[in-house]
Amino acid sequence: MNGNRLRLDRATGTSWIVSALLHAGIAWLLLSILLPHDEPLKSLEIEGAAAEPGAELVFFDMTIAEPQLDEAPRRTETIGDMSAAPLAITTPALTLASVTGGIGNHLVASGTQAAATGGVGRADFFGTQAVGDRFVYVVDTSGSMNAGRGRRLRRAIGELLRSVDQLTEGQYFYVLLFASETRRLFDSKDPIPNMVPATKKNKVRLRRWIRTVRPTGATHPQEALQIGIEMRPSAMFLLSDGKFSGSRARWYFAGAEPEVRVLVTRNNPGKVPIHTVAFEEPRARENLREISTMTSGQFVYVPETFRERLRERRAAEWMVIANKLETEGRPDMAQRYYEKIVRHFSGSDLAQEAGRRHHEYLVTNSAAR
């Protein structure tokens, strides 16, 4: 009896030991699979021996790949080779003019001129654009530029400084201010002025010098234009807000002042392009448009924003009334509105159209008599 009991106890103990070892093995196997490893699992080689002596041994190579739990899935889309295309991020200048009647706005980020033009520099001023490395700025500082307690001149100077700031050190510039008299850059007294490189030092000097400008006097651009043309720049920028003083132009038959026209034609045989800006005043359009046309330059009109929009809206309303009167067979009444448009909105496109219609009416009535 005791012997049977002893054999039963031994069998039970053995089964417990085997069960414990089996569970431990299973736990170890699960841990080895689930827990991350500092090192990848190495190949596990299992060697088996043949039953017969001298038989060739056979090896099995089994590798278990470690799951990469800490890496996110990768996209396999191909968007092109970006290694040879550096990403240049530049901030374009945001001094925008509300431009009408010209070529529109042009934004150039500082430092990108050479890359954009194949090694040739460029400049832009209130929407007019020029290519080259030598630029002359001719800016009106007459009394009319004091409009809005000097706001008009401050706006023009702000754009001038922005344009010069965009130039690279390999480019050159010069500034001429005209009113009754002409002021040269840095108030130079040299008989033959020379352009200065667009270095940081000269840009700072320009800012300091331009602070001394005060709007006063008449509008005489002749001397400034002649000096600028004689410097043979790549291009000139001319800004003005009114008719040139002494102009004999009348009403909507306005044209460039004869002295200015002769000066530009006689002193510009090489046709230096003069890009013109009619600034906040419709009456300045015709003079400046003609100069740009004579020199193969660009023309742009920069309105006085809100006030100018109101003026243009009123002119458009009067033109609608005149058209209605013409349709109703009352051309005599329509002429009153044409005359008002010409008188109050001289230089605008609507004034040009109203003047043409009024002239045709006078010619027709004269022939009928």
> Both 214 and 333 in a single domain?
no
Return the number of other C-beta atoms located less than 10 Å from residue 185's C-beta. Answer: 21
Among 34-38, 249-253, 309-313, the range of highest mean pLDDT: 309-313
Query: Per the structure block, which two tokens stand in for 2?
Result: 């005791």
**Model-wide pTM > 0.75:** no
Q: What is the mean pLDDT of residues 31-50?
A: 51
pLDDT of residue 8: 53
- Let me know if residue 215 belongs to a domain: yes
Whichever domain contains 253, its CATH number is: 3.40.50.410
Which residues form the domain of 251?
A: 113-304
Q: Tell me if residue 99 falls in helix, strand or coil.
A: coil
**Cα angle vertex 66, ends 65, 70, to 5°?**
140
Return the structure tokens found at 316.
């458009």
The answer to whether the beta carbons of residues 239 and 277 sit under 8 Å apart is yes
Q: Which candidate, 78, 106, 82, 74, places its Cα nearest to that of 92? A: 106
pLDDT range class, residue 30, cuts 50, 70, 90 = low
d(CA 136, CA 155): 19
The verdict on residue 255 lying in a domain is yes
Q: What is the mean pLDDT of the chain?
A: 75
pLDDT band at 108 (very low <50, low <70, confident <90, very high): very low
For residues 180 and 325, membership in a common domain is answered with no
- DSSP-assigned letters across all residues of 37-71: -SSPPPPEEEEE--SSTTPPPEEEEE--PPP-TTS
Q: Which of 257, 277, 304 is the last residue of a domain?
A: 304
> Which residues, in sequence order, are bridge partners of residue 137?
175, 237
Q: How far apart, in whole angstroms, are the C-alpha atoms of residue 355 and residue 358? A: 5
| The pLDDT value given to residue 244 | 81
The length of the chain in residues reads 369
Same-domain status, 213 and 315: no
CA distance 73 to 358: 76
Residue 282 DSSP symbol:
G
Flag the least confident range among 86-95, 177-186, 222-231, 262-271: 86-95
> What pLDDT, in 10s, does the model give residues 288-306?
999 999 999 999 999 887 6
- The count of structural domains within the chain is 2
